[in-house]
Structure 1
Amino acid sequence: MKNASKVPEPSPATNHKKFKLVLQYAAKFPGTPTRSQFHKWVNASLMQSAEIVLRIVDEEEGRELNRHFRGKDKATNVLTFVYDELQPLSGDIVLCAPVVISEAQQQQKDLAAHYAHLTVHGVLHLQGYDHEHETDAAIMEQLETEIITRLGYADPYHEQ
C-alpha cells in the first residue's frame, strides 16, 4: 500500500504518463461503457505509465476467477491482477458486468458512475493502493472520491 500523508493528485496536465489500454468485452450487457469512457477513467486514475487489460465478463467467468485466485465462490464486482516484475506497470482489471449492474440498482447509483468508480478502484489497486487496513482504506477512498468527483460524478461513498 502506498503510505502517504497527502493523497497525490493525478493530473494529465502535469503527469507525463503513457498508457496502453486493451479493452476486452467478453460479455456484452446493456449500459456497458464505451472504450472512450474507460480510457477517460483509466487516464484520470493513473499516476505512472502502464499497460492495462480491462476485461468485462459475465457472472460465470467472474465467479471462476474469484474462486481460482481468491478462494471465494462468488462473482465480485472488480478484480485486479498486478504483474510486479514488469515495467512499465502492467496488469489486468476484470469487471463483472452482472455484479456491477446489480450493485448500481441496489445502491440506486447511475450505472456509468458505478463503472467509473470500480474502474478507478481497480486502477488504484494496480498502483499499489489497498483497503486491508483502516488507514489504507481511508487513503484509498479519499483518492477515489477526489478522482470520481473530478470526473463529474457524485462521491461514491456518500449515501444517497
Structure 2
Amino acid sequence: MTPPVLHTQRLTLRAPVMADFPAYAAFWASDRVAYMGGPRDAAGAWFWFCHDVAQWALLGHGALMVDHTASGETVGQVGLNGGPKFPEVELGWLVYQGHAGQGYATESAGALRDWAFTTLTVESLVSYIDADNAASIRVAQRLGAELDTTGPRPDPEDLVWRHARRMQ
C-alpha cells in the first residue's frame, strides 16, 4: 500500500524519506527514547527506520513523519506497528526534542488512528507504553484509550492502552 498523506489543523503526516534519517537517528541516540529500549546507535536507528518504511509494503500500514505544516519542520513521527514483535497493531508516536508539550503527538496519533479505523480491518489498536512514561500515558488518555490489564504485550513492563473503534 502507498502511504497516505494526512492533514490536521496544524500538521502534515507523510511517508518517511531518506532525508528524514539523520533527525530520526539523532532522536534514537537521545535520552528521549529511554522508554523505548534506547538509546540506540545509528545501526539500531536504521533497523527501526527500515521497519517503519517496510511495513507499508508488507502490512498495509506503517509510520508517517509529522511535519508542522506552516514551517515545514519535522516534529516527530507517528506509526502503526505490526509484525512479530507486536501482538496487536500498535499506534505509536514520538516527538523530537524541542517539540514536546505542544499537542503534536495527540493530534497526529488521532489522525492516524482515524485513518486506520476507516481503512484497515481492525476492531481496536493498542499503544504499548512503559508504566513510567507519564507523558505518553496522557496522550493515550487524551485519545480516549483505556487501560487493558489483560492485553498481550511485547515487553512485560509495558502497559496496554486500547483504542476502540468508535461507532460511526
Scaled by the length of structure 1, the TM-score of the pair is 0.33
Normalising by structure 2, we get a TM-score of 0.32
Pick 1 or 2: higher relative contact order, CA cutoff 8 A, min separation 6: 1
Structure with the bigger percentage of strand: 2
- Structure having the larger proportion of residues in helix: 1
